[in-house]
């Protein structure tokens, strides 16, 4: 699954390098699709359940599943969550990152850093013998300690030949509870954290999930293999599993 993960990360990194005020999310979508196909992959999201694009691009109060559009022009101070997935040789990779477009509001910056660190803490729990509740609790405890909200309606998931497999991987839980983790399992861990109330609604386009109070949201994701040697992040390219927070950083 490493080639699928690497290409997913490469697409995510490339999109991040093009994030700047004035760019449209449709342009970011085009960039991701181009790089995925150039390297022999297929965009995992395009056509998935009827989703019309190769990336999800969720700006500010949008939590996940934002649809790229020529009419969505990024502005200075936006935070934009990009989710990319690639299929290579029948295997899926899935990852996401919330980038800054220019200089974000300081609390939005904190929200993003905390959500990223929720992901790091959760990954550390992905070892044989632990339980899904250990992963969820790691996210929940750290997010709540910082006063942020935890989205419950959308969760991480198993990954394999299909993007969404069992088990569900919630971002909340109790330590020692839930499915016992075993070597060989592959899961996408993806905290979705809100600055305000995590209650959310789906827009009339039937995809885009947005906070009801229109507070900002952040979303970070990696695909992880659970092994006897510890967690292996499959969604990493030559530069590793993490992206710079700042959009445009590699441009
Ligand atoms: Mg996912």
pLDDT in tens, 110-168: 999 999 999 999 999 999 999 999 999 999 999 999 999 999 999 999 999 999 999 99
Tell whether 24 is covered by a domain.
yes
Reading the block at residue 138, the tokens are: 């790691």
Cα–Cα distance, 233 to 144 (Å, whole number)? 25
Q: What is the pLDDT of residue 250?
A: 55
Q: Which of 195, 75, 207 is nearest to 146 (CA)?
A: 195
How many Å lie between the centroid of ligand 1 and the Cα of residue 229?
24
Tell whether 22 is covered by a domain.
yes
Q: Which of 187, 191, 178 is nearest to 139 (CA)?
A: 191
Tell whether 226 is covered by a domain.
yes
Beta-strand relationship, 91-100 and 79-88: antiparallel
Number of domains observed in the structure of the chain: 1
68-73: long-range pairs with CB below 8 Å, 24+: 68/24, 68/25, 68/26, 68/28, 68/29, 69/24, 69/25, 69/26, 70/24, 70/26, 71/24, 72/24, 72/25, 72/26, 73/22, 73/23, 73/24
The parent domain of residue 201 ranges over 2-233
How many Å lie between the centroid of ligand 1 and the Cα of residue 93?
9
Q: What is the pLDDT of residue 249?
A: 72
pTM of this structure: 0.97
Tell whether 243 is covered by a domain.
no
Largest CA distance in the chain: 48
Tell whether 78 is covered by a domain.
yes
Tell whether 238 is covered by a domain.
no
Residues of the chain with pLDDT under 70: 250-251
Q: What is the pLDDT of residue 251?
A: 45
Tell whether 240 is covered by a domain.
no
How many Å lie between the centroid of ligand 1 and the Cα of residue 220?
9
In this structure, are residues 58 and 66 in contact, taking their beta carbons and an 8 Å threshold?
A: yes
State the CATH number of the domain containing residue 37: 3.90.230.10
How many Å lie between the centroid of ligand 1 and the Cα of residue 61?
19
How many Å lie between the centroid of ligand 1 and the Cα of residue 243?
17
Tell whether 242 is covered by a domain.
no
Surrounding ion ligand 1 within 5 Å at CB are 94, 188
């Amino acid at each position: 699954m490493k080639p699928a993960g690497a290409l997913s990360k490469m697409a995510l990194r490339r999109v991040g390098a093009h994030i700047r005020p004035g760019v449209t999310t449709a342009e970011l979508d085009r960039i991701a699709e181009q790089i995925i196909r150039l390297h022999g992959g297929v965009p995992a999201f395009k056509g998935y359940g009827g989703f019309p694009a190769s990336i999800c691009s969720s700006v500010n109060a949008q939590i996940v599943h934002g649809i790229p559009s020529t009419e969505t022009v990024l502005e200075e101070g936006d935070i934009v969550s990009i989710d990319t997935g690639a299929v290579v040789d029948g295997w899926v990779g899935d990852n996401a990152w919330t980038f800054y477009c220019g200089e974000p509001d300081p609390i939005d910056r904190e929200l993003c850093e905390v959500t990223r660190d929720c992901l790091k803490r959760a990954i550390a729990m992905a070892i044989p013998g632990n339980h899904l509740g250990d992963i969820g609790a790691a996210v929940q405890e750290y997010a709540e300690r910082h006063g942020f909200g935890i989205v419950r309606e959308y969760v991480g998931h198993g990954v394999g030949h299909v993007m969404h497999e069992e088990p569900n991987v919630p971002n909340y839980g109790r330590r020692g509870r839930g499915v016992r983790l075993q070597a060989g399992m592959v899961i996408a861990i993806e905290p979705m954290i809100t600055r305000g109330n995590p209650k959310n609604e789906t827009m009339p386009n039937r995809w885009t999930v947005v906070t009801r109070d229109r507070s900002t949201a952040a979303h970070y994701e990696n695909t992880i293999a659970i092994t006897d040697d510890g967690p292996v992040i499959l969604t990493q390219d030559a530069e590793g599993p993490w992206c710079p927070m700042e959009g445009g950083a590699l441009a």
